[in-house]
Homo-oligomer: A and B are copies of this chain.
């Protein structure tokens, strides 16, 4: 299946022409997951040709407006579309009070169950898991309570080596599930057919980490080891590192150092300050520390499977 990541917006707080504030649509194991929801996200979803109704989960990093001001409109649109399926939102605790005030004053009735997981933890925990994926929050270091998120495929079953299996007539089809789960086959006489003789390693589980907004936090690398794709904010270039310090944001070089320490498969940069007209300098700066680097651009789609990641404009 792989990872599909549609960049809906990658600007920082001050709105600029031709870009939108932070929002991404992650497709992982058939799940449609919205990560952050800046103003205009609905319009960007329409432009990207995404069926809104497929989104079942929304993860909000923090309550600065450029990361969630598109959410009330999305919730209202779901209602107008007569959505019935539940919607799960993972967000800092304060979101509930905001949505409550909006729903009360605007008379917003919802046609679907809204399940809000109000996050307050300062540790990294598993906040969601189903049969295919697992999600952990990543405590970040910003001016207000902020989490990144790590989305991981669950380990896949081992692959049967058909030719090898056929050498052992005592193995029945009903034994395959145990073999795929990594168990040896034990004969009636107690001897073993070792699992590794008849199966192959499954493809590595893919994972996606979203880290925005945050000051450089090198200890995140412990949580991000071998992540397939690391999205990390790069609001500033090193030349403006003092602004990154002041505002608790990161530079492109810092994001790249974290990617290197995490042994990431790819670094995706975003949340560029409106002060930079040409974002290519972010890529150049990051590439002095880590490769490969891509820039998040609204409307682009990143596809990752066992092969190389590639970006495409749909």
Interface on A for B, CB 8 Å cutoff? 13-17, 20-21, 39-40, 42-43, 46-47, 63-66, 69-70, 72-73, 76-77, 80-81, 92, 94-95, 97-98, 100-102, 104-108, 143-144
A47 touches B17 (CB 8 A): yes
- Say yes or no: A20 contacts B39, CB within 8 Å: no
**CB of A43, distance to nearest CB on chain B (Å):** 6
- A76 with B66: CB separation less than 8 A: yes
Q: Can you tell how many copies of this chain the complex includes?
A: 2
Q: Is the CB of B94 within 8 A of A104?
A: yes
A47 contacts which chain B residues (CB < 8 A)? 17
A309 to B79, CA, bound (A): 39
B77 to A73, Cβ gap below 8 A?
no
How far in angstroms is the closest Cβ of chain B from A140?
15
Inter-chain contact A72/B80, CB cutoff 8 Å: no
Which chain B positions have C-beta within 8 A of A13?
A: 76-77, 80
Give the top 7 A-B pairs by smallest Cβ distance, nearest first: A94-B105, A101-B101, A63-B106, A65-B76, A39-B73, A15-B42, A69-B73
Q: With A39-B73, A72-B69, A73-B65 in contact, is A15–B46 under 8 Å at CB? A: yes
Residues of B within 8 A of A95 (CB): 105
The one of B65, B94, B104 that contacts A72, using a Cβ cutoff of 8 Å: B65
Measured CA separation A251–B97 after assembly (Å): 37
User: Are A107 and B14 interface neighbours, CB within 8 A?
Assistant: no
Cβ contact of A97, chosen from B65, B73, B101, B143, cutoff 8 A = B101
Q: Look across to chain B and name the residue whose beta carbon is closest to the beta carbon of A101.
A: B101
